Chains A and B, each alone.
Chain A
Amino acid sequence: MQMRPMTRVLLGLACLLVAVWLVAPTLVVVPMSFNENKSLAFPPQGFSTQWYANFVNNPDWSSSFINSLKVAVLVAILAAIVGTLAAFGLDRMKSRASGLLRMVLLTPMVVPGVVLAIGIYAVYLDMRLVGTLPGFVLAHTMLAIPFVLIAVTASLEVFDKRLELAATSLGAGRLTTFRTVTLPLILPGILSGLLFAFVTSFDEIIVSLFITNPYLRTLPVQIYTSITRDADPTVAAVGTILLFTTTIVIGGGLLLFARERRT
């Protein structure tokens, strides 16, 4: 169908408007991070990279970044393993209870974060897990498992189970079949679940605010405390760094999957 030029222009404008609306708030942090003054004013004045230097040199910032990285990596691995096993088990369950179990496993996604945070905080106080690495990893893993479960379930649904029968007939036991046939074929699902789990933990704030203490702070907590206490443009620098890192990671992941699909 041929579009009238007028229609085309209007359509283009509408798209542009939506795009600006969605992306602009994110992009505002980029110029702000090069502000010369210690303020979060927009538009910024002058140009300086001092806030980037501050991010690297100030132990408050660098250690919280390292903490977040540590927690997120551990969560990604743990959630990928547990979530994959859960997806596999639910997929093979013949009982009708599997639907119910799946729902239970997905509740962390549905339950309001504050409610969850209060519950976790209460238990952690008793168990002395507040402000500890295991405490953060445990709480974030719980939040991340549903993402892995969804991603792996999706790839198990398109996985042809008859391939397992074929492997069996060729002499492979259950474990060998899983290792040589099932696992390689659902790996894209596991990897995207892993990525989601990493991101979930890395930018988690609600539960983290409750279970944090001055000794162990993650990056989102540090950003939040910093911005409520003083208008430190380091926040904008951190935001800019995160923006570009996630764009590269997600973009790279998408490219990788696209190539995978072509072969």
Chain B
Amino acid sequence: MAENKQVGRGAAIDIRSVSKVYGNFTALDNVSLGIRPGEFMTLLGPSGSGKTTTLNVVAGFTEITGGNLEVGGSSVVGIPAHKRNIGVVFQHYALFPHMTVGRNVAYPLALRKVPSAEREKRVKQALEMVKMSDFAHRYPSELSGGQQQRVALARAIVFDPPLLLMDEPLGALDKKLREWLQLEIKRIHRELGTTFVYVTHDQEEALVLSDRIAVFNRGRIEQVGTGRELYDEPQTLFVARFIGDSTVLRGQANSDGTSTAISIAGETVTMDKRLPGNGAPVLLLRPEKLALRRRGNGQGESGLNRLSGTVTEAIYLGSGSKYEVRLKDGSTAIVRSPLGEQSFDIGEAVEVTFAGADAKLLADDSTADQTLT
């Protein structure tokens, strides 16, 4: 707890080529993921992508059908969940309704035959850590959702597990509470030094909490990296669209090996980048890499790519503005301009400009579209 705070007492996790097949449905398809001791790793993805299955596999609730799984350096395959010594926090709290908060938190200690004086001390510390000390004698039904989840968290950390798994723990709470609890979870992670594995479908939550994020799609991991890496250097279109806003453009591509020209509804953009593999690429642009200017307003800066379009939506965000621009080929560009820039009205004819270096060329895995919609 707070006073025996130390770094590196979390367990490393090594998920190696793990598969989970139910009949003819593949929930996990050859998933590999290494998690460092003390790391905050988020498994992010849409529902049915395999993130919760991965969590259940690590917890021991689900047996794997292939591969190997190591926690803290030794294989846990075949070891039942109750012998794994891993803390789990569930979306629906799962507090025992017939026990008080204090007895709920003491439950794992009682199972471990911790002497009662020691037990009381640790329950008190755990409840202090989640700021629920005043509620030890209440029953779960007398608490709000956020309070229940904090008690569940205390119960999952009170026995000092080297690994804590959380399955969408804030999913049932309202936005304000969720944001506050995110910071609480971050603080607790920092103070405990335990390895945290966190499952969510909320990309913002993933960005706030995580050291690294693993993006899941259709039973596979698409990419693992820090939030910044996933935003700036997405390896697949799916990742690009799942994390942050993006403009995705398709067109006729021509490459001479070092640079690529793409023709989109009669307008051509160029960049010094090579095509990713074979087949038609997609052009990906983040909103803050795009700029707007009025059409027919001189030549402007040279070396910038231009696409003409019409403003269809203008949203004032306080810290700047967000525009949606319908381009000539019918696709929508999302542009974010910082505070103090010129403003545009809906219906205005504009040009969207960007530097070739800011564009990303990705293979068109249009299957990703289906999963997103």
Q: Assuming the A-B contacts A185-B98, A263-B139, are A171 and B61 also in contact, with contact meaning beta carbons closer than 8 angstroms in the complex?
A: no
Q: Which residue of B60, B82, B86 contacts A172 across the interface (Cβ within 8 Å)?
A: B82
For A185, list chain B residues within 8 Å (CB): 97-98
A181 within 8 A of B: yes
Closest to B61 in A: A165
How far apart are B87's CB and chain A's nearest CB, in angstroms? 7
20 residue pairs bridging A and B, Cβ less than 8 Å apart: A160-B94, A166-B95, A166-B96, A167-B96, A167-B107, A168-B80, A168-B82, A169-B81, A169-B86, A169-B156, A170-B82, A170-B155, A170-B156, A171-B83, A171-B108, A171-B111, A171-B159, A173-B82, A177-B82, A184-B98
In the assembled complex, B350 has its CB within 8 A of some CB on chain A = no
Residues of the A chain whose Cβ atoms lie less than 8 Å from the Cβ of B156: 169-170
Q: Which of B313-356 contact A (CB under 8 A)?
A: none
Contact residues in A for B139 (Cβ distance below 8 Å) = 263
What is the predominant secondary structure among interface residues of chain B facing chain A?
loop
B261 smallest CB distance to A (angstroms): 56
A95 smallest CB distance to B (angstroms): 15
On whether the beta carbons of A181 and B59 are closer than 8 Å, the reply is: no
Q: What residues make up the interface of A, taking CB atoms closer than 8 Å to B?
A: 160, 162-163, 165-173, 176-177, 180-181, 184-185, 263
Number of A-B contacts (CB under 8 A): 60
**What secondary structure prevails in chain A residues at the interface with B?**
helix
Asked if B88 is at the interface (CB within 8 A of a chain A CB), the reply is yes
B87-118 with Cβ < 8 A to chain A: 87-88, 90, 92, 94-98, 107-108, 111-112
Do the beta carbons of A162 and B90 come within 8 Å of each other? yes
Residues of B within 8 A of A168 (CB): 60-61, 80-82
Contact partners of B112 in chain A: CB under 8 A: 171
Is B312 located at the chain interface by the 8 A CB criterion?
A: no
Bound-complex Cα distance A42 to B273 (A): 108
B226 in contact (CB, < 8 A): no
Cβ B90 vs Cβ A166 within 8 A: yes
| Chain A minimum-CB-distance residue to B88 | A169
Q: Which residues of A contact B86 (CB under 8 A)?
A: 169
Which has the most chain A C-beta neighbours within 10 Å: B80, B111, B112?
B111
On chain B, the residues within 8 Å of A263 by CB distance are 139
